[in-house]
Structure 1
Amino acid sequence: MSLLIIWHSRTGASEQMAQAAMQGCRAGDQCVAADAVTSEQILEAGGYLFVCPENLGSMTGAMKEMFDRTYYDALGRIEGRPYSTIIAAGSDGEGALRQIDRIATGWRLRRVAEAKIVNFHAQTAEQIWALKTVDREVLSDCEAIGAGLSEGVALGVF
């Protein structure tokens, strides 16, 4: 089984973090933009890493739309599979995290790694819309998250 990293990004932060997570992954794992994810990919994956920004206190609309498109096809068919999350936030990220966790609960996924919330402290329109550069230390953490999830899924540890 493989890890599926699903991401959406508006200003580059989530994409950079998803790509960093993918650097730690094994061959056969996938990193797919939320708007391109299919129900088949959800069903075939052995675990998931959801990476997105928080927008207006919620997960990004593109990530929500991915869940809307795939939810019922996967319902009852992926129980017990592992997941984790990486959230790019302007202030706290907790709203996006709660939403993803609620959907994961419906799918009966198991959180196997603590969520990583990266706060960019963007509070003005200019700061929010600005392209982001993620610190090397954060990218290293994301790579480690990807490696841990990938290895755990491959070994059947989760």
Structure 2
Amino acid sequence: MATKKLLIVAHIPSDNTRRLREAVVEGASFPDITDVELRALIPFDAEPLDVKWADAVILGTTENLGYMSGALKDFFDRVYYPCLDDTQGKPYALYIRAGHDGTGTRRGVETIVTGLRWRAVQPPLICRGPWQEEFVDQCRELGMTMAASLEAGVI
């Protein structure tokens, strides 16, 4: 079986958002998952070739003024057209660290990935409101679920 490739593109402007991304990576690196290669990048470092390399993508963003982070928007601005024809149907998952409700952030990301014709493999994880330690566990589970599903050929 060929090794599957999982790209994590997450904006991490704070210690807490760094913990969320680390939890996603930790979950995706669970010892029982042996045939998934990970690449975790901040949005400014992710390029179209990274997206094309990946068999699936996990996106992580903060809610900024009711929208995705400028960093994630910059990522989409740079990869949209170079990836449009080559990544249709790509499975993705999204997590949002939202101080409010995350609705505008979710809508903004979903509008772009719909244009890319990517395929959501689960509803977005919205870590909303004041910080809660359970956000870390939820992100770990997200990473594990994506990697295990990718390895098993479910997504």
Q: Is TM more than 0.5 here?
A: yes
1:91 matched to 2:100? The reply is yes
Q: Distance in 2 between matches of 1:86 and 1:13?
A: 13
Counterpart of 2:121?
A: 112
Paired letter, 1:8: H
Question: TM-score, normalised to structure 1's length?
Answer: 0.86
User: Could you say what the CA RMSD is over the residues aligned between the two structures, in angstroms?
Assistant: 1.4
2:92 aligned counterpart, secondary structure: strand
**Unaligned runs of at least 5 residues, structure 1:** 122-133
Alignment of 1:1-158 (within 5 A): 1-26=4-29, 27-121=36-130, 135-158=132-155
Number of aligned residue pairs: give it. Answer: 146
**Unaligned runs of at least 5 residues, structure 2:** 30-35
Using the TM superposition, give the Cα deviation of residue 144 of structure 1 relative to its aligned residue in structure 2, in angstroms.
0.8
Question: TM-score, normalised to structure 2's length?
Answer: 0.88
Counterpart of 2:33?
A: none
Paired letter, 2:140: E
Using the TM superposition, give the Cα deviation of residue 11 of structure 1 relative to its aligned residue in structure 2, in angstroms.
2.6
Paired letter, 2:150: V
Q: Distance in 2 between matches of 1:29 and 1:84?
A: 15
- Which portions of structure 1, spanning 4 or more consecutive aligned residues, are displaced by more than 4 angstroms? none
Q: Work out whether residues 99 and 129 of structure 2, in 8 Å CA contact, stay in contact via their aligned partners in 1.
A: yes
Paired letter, 1:66: F
